[in-house]
Amino acid sequence: MMESGVPLCNTCGEQIGLTSNGEVFVACHECNYPICRSCFEYEIKDGRASCIRCATPYDDSSLITDGKADESGGHTTMASHLSKDQDVGLHARNISSVSTADSEYIDEYGNPIWKNRVESWKEKKNKKKKDKSKPVKEVQIPVDQQMEEKGQLAEASQPLSIVAPIPRTQQTSYRIVIIMRLIILGLFIHYRVTHPVDSAYALWLTSVICEIWFAFSWVLDQFPKWSPVNRTTFIDRLSARYEREGEPSQLAAVDFFVSTVDPLKEPPLITANTVLSILAVDYPVDKVSCYVSDDGAAMLTFESLAETAEFSRKWVPFCKKFAIEPRAPEFYFSQKFDYLKDKVQPSFVKERRAMKREYEEYKVRINALVAKAQKTPDEGWTMQDGTPWPGNNTRDHPGMIQVFLGNTGAHDIEGNELPRLVYVSREKRPGYQHHKKAGAENALVRVSAVLTNAPYILNLDCDHYVNNSKAIREAMCFLMDPLVGRDVCYVQFPQRFDGIDKSDRYANRNTVFFDVNMKGLDGIQGPMYVGTGCVFNRQALYGYGPPSLPNATKVSSSHSSCCCCLRKKPAKEKDPAEIYRDAKREDLNAAIFNLREIESYDEYERSLLISQMSFEKTFGMSSVFIESTLMENGGVAESANPSTLIKEAIQVISCSYEEKTAWGKEIGWIYGSVTEDILTGFKMHCRGWRSLYCMPVRPAFKGSAPINLSDRLHQVLRWALGSVEIFLSRHCPLWYGWGGGRLKLLQRLAYVNTIVYPFTSLPLVAYCILPAVCLLTGKFIIPTLSNLASALFLGLFISIISTSVLELRWSGVSIEALWRNEQFWVIGGVSAHLFAVFQGFLKMLAGVDTNFTVTAKAADDTEFGELYMIKWTTVLIPPTTIIIINIVGVVAGFSDALNSGYESWGPLFGKVFFAFWVIVHLYPFLKGLMGRQNRTPTIVVLWSVLLASVFSLVWVKINPFVSKVDPSKLAQGCISIDC
């Protein structure tokens, strides 16, 4: 552990030590790279005179200090310990820990492994030197080879990723505009509050309340984007460090999770393409395992996966031989491009045509299975051996596991090994709460831990395929970098989608969120977990805290010392608030134990220690799974019996396994909301972890999104409902996690924004109706504008535009995407978010679960036919009502102006401006109601024109909102002019 503020060496994990002056030893004064004197001496003796991290030559003072240390002999070096691979492995193992109370969790992420490899290279060179009889002449290595080896060592020592903040001029301008907008907004709110409209007090009060809420919502959304960053990865350096020719790959293993429920709603062919893209990923075969969760226990999914495993034996070698992208066959063969470009292999054309025929035959077999599954036999499904399918009753069936590929001896057509492919269907029994997707993901965590136990997990939705075969390497540039990955709980990739029309009418791509908001969070504590395309550190899913947490939490306290400081600060007594925070930290990490203590015991003593520490209360009763949580680098024991592991895997997916454990509460995917992704990432950030955002040039994963209006609104409804559930739960960011002090303030603001944004629908609906009410009543929410008010309006308008323009500059988002996002914010706010608020309160407070069903009509058989599909649902009622009211209000306003004279035209423009603001924002919704633009029903147009004309004529003749005229006076007037 770090004591007295002395940091640890990034090479061996020991304390750096002090100089004769009592100061912390510093080898490189340029970057202060933490390296102890022993490792520094070893590097100097080996001829390396520059820093490992920044390549800056060591100065003379460090070299002199090194010489004095050698002469004195008072300090024992680590060279002897590092000379043997066995000693290095033991040393690294003893200093490793996943405990939040211990900061010695050194280099599970690769640093000792890389150090071992460097040492092995040096040993080989030394052996060659010893074998030569004439050391001066015969040990000489060709210059090219020397340069190559030096280049490899230099490449391996370089950082695997860099952080590239946005240009300082853009960032400074952006922050200034944010502050200016905040000041102008405050002055505007002050003006609105201090200048009431007595003639329309109710309308004025409603508008002011709405504007105050909008200002609060803007603050929550804007300030988490205070420090946006971009990250760049170097996968070539990753290969240089962890992959050497002629040596086994040292890259970390990855378990892929693919979840599906209903194969009739989630087509098996789409799921199969996702699986095939995983099996063909550009990563060592023995490091990849794919687990498919069938939560519907469908025989169709099982049989389609068997066909997929067979087809993969031909598809995987084809992908790797010709390095094609993407490696999902459906999307590869549907690409419209010249596939002969940059393909120099003469056999490519022939093999591609043959593979396309194979895939078409494979599709026929899958479609035949789907057609067969349309009607379930009365006696239920039976397998090929005649036995009933165990999952005939989807709500009452045992757990099922089938290993299709991997260690079963399955190879591709070229004789190469294939990644492991495992089918998993967890047990379902009546009376148990299964927690939908979150429960299925937790079952996969346990199954994978028993069978493969990779240190990293990547989860994908069944319709999100791997679009970039090197995506895993991109993530490993963060997770396996000893300088970056120690405190990283997950690496999140942005979601990209296929099949969306060019105009993106309903903002399905979510470009503003993924390219603006997530980049902003990456500069604080990390992006949120968005449910798919995320590479997890398995230890973080187990509820463990980050290894350097004690250093991070003590920086703000008065008795601590920063690792960058050279002298220890005097200790002070803890105040009651700090004692309370420390107690909270212990409560949050009750399930975390020091592996360094456990490693020194034999198997019997270890089992007793595990029992004593009550691992069963946290992880369940499986001893095999508990033992897997103690393996620092993952993997299963070589002596493990495969049949025993399968039985153990069946046990950990039983429906009663999670009872009286911490699953879903503190470890794994967290239960309590339909948006379990937000909760899971939030809990990790509360423990002190940080996440990273990876945006490769070629999108890592691509999926499908609902592009018609009704499906899009129901998707947004589900997300908003999950946010309301979190708001009403104990995990609400407004009050959860304050005791630990590990969640940064801006990060908390971002999480607060994710759970309160549905409530913006209430003031938004009111604000969208106000313009129509003003037009119908002849009243207005703003009095006559003074010079100050005009300046505030103009300043606020300019600041809004400036903020948007600067965000466009540093994010690269297009103006069209920003406008579509703004439009759908209004559309979703007055429809799906509004229903989510009421549904959430009914569900959480009254226990009433309300579902809004969707009835679909047939879609066109064109590329974007689904876009014009009309599905009637209750979610469409509020926005339809609002747009009709505003259209009627505009017609009524112009009619009243024509009837009243030119004096009424001035106030009319202000009212009509706000009404048109509402109509323009709801225009995509109006197009969605009408369907295809050139197929708008004629009857709709005729009725619209007729109703508008009739209403206008009636409004001119009889205006119910104007003051009543005395009939007697009207009669006298008529008599006087002889009418």
Catalytic residue IDs: 295, 677
Angle at 524 between CA 445 and CA 222, to 5 degrees: 115
744 annotated ligand-binding residue: no
Cα(204)–Cα(920) distance, rounded to whole angstroms? 23
> What are the C-alpha distances in Å from 268 to residues 256, 313, 388, 515, 799?
18, 18, 21, 31, 50
The 10 Å CB-count burial string (b at 16+, else e) for 234-247 is: bbebbebbbebeee
Cα(106)–Cα(91) distance, rounded to whole angstroms? 10
Cα(579)–Cα(277) distance, rounded to whole angstroms? 51
Q: What is the DSSP letter of 632?
A: T
Contact 669, 680 (CB under 8 A): yes
Cα(808)–Cα(170) distance, rounded to whole angstroms? 11
> Contacts from 576-585 at CB under 8 Å and sequence distance 24+?
580/739, 581/553, 581/739, 581/740, 581/741, 583/739, 584/739, 584/740, 585/100, 585/549, 585/553, 585/739, 585/740
Q: What is the DSSP letter of 486?
A: G
Cα(621)–Cα(625) distance, rounded to whole angstroms? 8
In 3D space, the residue among 614, 645, 266, 662 whose CA is nearest the CA of residue 442 turns out to be 662
Concatenated DSSP letters for 823-853?
A: HHHHHHHTTHHHHHHHHHHHHHHS-------
488-492 vs 690-693, strand pairing mode: parallel
Pair of tokens at residue 891: 């017609």
Pair of tokens at residue 271: 């799921």
CA 978 centroid distance within chain: 80
Angle at 717 between CA 713 and CA 720, to 5 degrees: 135
Helix 268-279 / helix 299-322 crossing angle, nearest 10 deg:
40
In 3D space, the residue among 610, 950, 796 whose CA is nearest the CA of residue 214 turns out to be 796
CA 524 centroid distance within chain: 15
In 3D space, the residue among 307, 413, 421 whose CA is nearest the CA of residue 354 turns out to be 413
Q: What share of the chain is helix, strand, coil (3-state, %, to 5)?
A: 55, 10, 40
Cα(846)–Cα(244) distance, rounded to whole angstroms? 62
What are the residues facing 663 on neighbouring strands?
Answer: 667
Pair of tokens at residue 26: 């510093």
297 torsion bin: left (phi>0), alpha (psi -120 to 50), beta (else): left
Cα(106)–Cα(8) distance, rounded to whole angstroms? 9
**Residue 263: φ, ψ to 5°:** -70, -15
**Residue 23: φ, ψ to 5°:** -100, 160
Half-sphere exposure of 480 (CA within 13 A, CB side): 32
Contact 666, 463 (CB under 8 A): no
266 annotated ligand-binding residue: yes
Contact 447, 653 (CB under 8 A): yes
Give the number of other CB atoms < 10 A from CB of residue 435.
19
Cα(204)–Cα(224) distance, rounded to whole angstroms? 31
Cα(256)–Cα(271) distance, rounded to whole angstroms? 13
295 annotated ligand-binding residue: yes
289 annotated ligand-binding residue: no
Helix (H) or strand (E) holding 258: strand 254-260
969 annotated ligand-binding residue: no
Question: Is the backbone peptide bond immediately before 907 cis, with ω within 30 degrees of 0?
Answer: no
Q: Which residues are annotated as a binding site for Mn(2+)?
A: 437, 461
Q: Which residues are annotated as a binding site for UDP-alpha-D-glucose?
A: 259, 265-266, 295, 436
